[in-house]
Amino acid sequence: MSLRDLLWLTQEIKEIKLYHQRRISSLYTGQPSDEIIAIAGRMFGHYHGLAGTNDIDMLKEPDLWLDDVLSGMAEHANESADRVTFKPLVIEIDPLGVHYIDVLFGARVYIHSGQVWSDELEYDLDELQMPDLSSSTLFQDSANLVRKAVKVSQGHLFVTTPVLSCAINVGINIFGECLRIKVLPLISKNYHQKQ
């Protein structure tokens, strides 16, 4: 039996996933609920984080990485048959964590003292250009992994995008103090003018 045939994904697990999805959908459409909705996420597989630093790099060895993720899911799939707490089965594509966008703009991302850091860009904020995604190895490798993950999921597993941090976080990562000095006062001024 191959992990990719998803035979380990029982009908009960599929039904409970739909049950929880309906509950969440009801909550977001404003329907009253007499129950608390609890979600307990879990990362499957062993190799997440900064691309290039793991034994299995999700971008360079996507099939091997997906097999590792599916192995973890299959091992813990029975936990998802919980009618009280939603424990979704998710293929989490996070090659650079919150620094994904930083790399697309050209920032160097690395591990320092056990933490992932990014260097500020060498140019000024007003020189920032749209990244050329067609020539970005990071973007192309990520898109390849997403396509493979969607195929593997067969519509039964969630597949995430890389972490698409908010513009303020990305701006601080790649421009540091420059952003705080130039942009945040403008945002504050515009906000107060609208009030």
Spatial separation of the C-alpha atoms in residues 4 and 154, rounded to whole Å: 9
Q: Enumerate the H helices of the chain as residue ranges.
A: 11-28, 62-76, 100-104, 137-153, 167-175, 177-182, 184-194
* 9-13 long-range contacts, CB within 8 A, separation 24+: 9/77, 9/89, 9/156, 9/157, 10/77, 10/81, 12/81, 13/77, 13/78, 13/80, 13/81, 13/89
Backbone angles phi, psi at 95, to 5 degrees: -60, -25
Confidence at residue 118, expressed as pLDDT on a 0 to 100 scale: 87
Model confidence over 143-189: pLDDT tens digits? Answer: 999 999 999 999 999 999 888 888 878 888 888 876 666 666 655 65
Spatial separation of the C-alpha atoms in residues 118 and 139, rounded to whole Å: 17
Confidence at residue 30, expressed as pLDDT on a 0 to 100 scale: 93
Confidence at residue 174, expressed as pLDDT on a 0 to 100 scale: 86
Contact 62, 124 (CB under 8 A): no
Residues of the chain scoring pLDDT < 70: 1, 49-54, 178-195
Domains in the chain: boundaries: 3-194
Confidence at residue 117, expressed as pLDDT on a 0 to 100 scale: 84
